[in-house]
Structure 1
């Protein structure tokens, strides 16, 4: 972005949408009230305040109002940008490192409802039904994970924001396989839809 564009954008934020008029009216009202409060008695007795003090009394609310309008507009711009961006594409990019991993990886929302799993997840656990929007706790139950381990998963995730269960026995097609489960909460201040839980099952059967 060029300097000219930056200046134009700033001018639009500071002077667009009637901001100067609103700031001027606010300064007139607030400045007059503050002048009366701070210097009313002196003015009545003929002792006028220094002109610089009067100017500052009116300038400060003008600047504060203008800055508040700018930051308010910026927040709206950021919100519109988030709406404009394709959340599905961003999720795919954020999940890219796990897409072709040799582990069974998943991504869930803050309530542990599955949003995305990689191909190995369905290969490792073929008996699971359609996983979209299925709660991950229900997935653990359907895989036959012990209730104590499920409780440990929820406790560690809530208290520490991450989970490591070194050994989980799961029966798949009549054969016992052993997995480790690693999960962590994801936090993104810019895109709220990236806040959730990401994790993976690691097959350690032959180790």
Structure 2
């Protein structure tokens, strides 16, 4: 989850400095070498795509922190220990690289794909926890395309990890639906609710 969290931080950063603050792009064109130290900076960016990604980034960060607390994992260990890196690769979702070279329009579509595939990855992990094995049964896999909460009906909600992942998936699905309205029906105004995220590069691990 750490690599996806970092990936979404990069989306927030580049979407911001490729449009809303493009006049500063020459100064801020690398999220790791030139990070934003002000945790509330992105909250004020007047761009619905930035706010969408910021909301997803925040939700993922909260879940990551909760999982780390459960298992006593610190931030550095989460990103560096071979065991966690291997487990994170098991159902690895699509990740966009070379964001710096991509246009604002292309970044929006890459963000949409990354969000959609991360939700699917979370679903596969929830299925694996439910089945208590790494090979996910086809019956469980097929549930993913069912509408709304029907997709989760066979998952073991009594498992705390599964319940946590279901909660995150529900939140991210809402964000994805709103995002697709923004992308594919631009004449429909969609209000992206943004709370205080206190986001900065410290919460994400450099890839």
TM-score by length of 1: 0.27
Q: By percentage of residues, which structure has more strand? A: 1
State the structure with bigger RCO (CA 8 A, min sep 6), 1 or 2. 2
TM-score (norm 2): 0.27
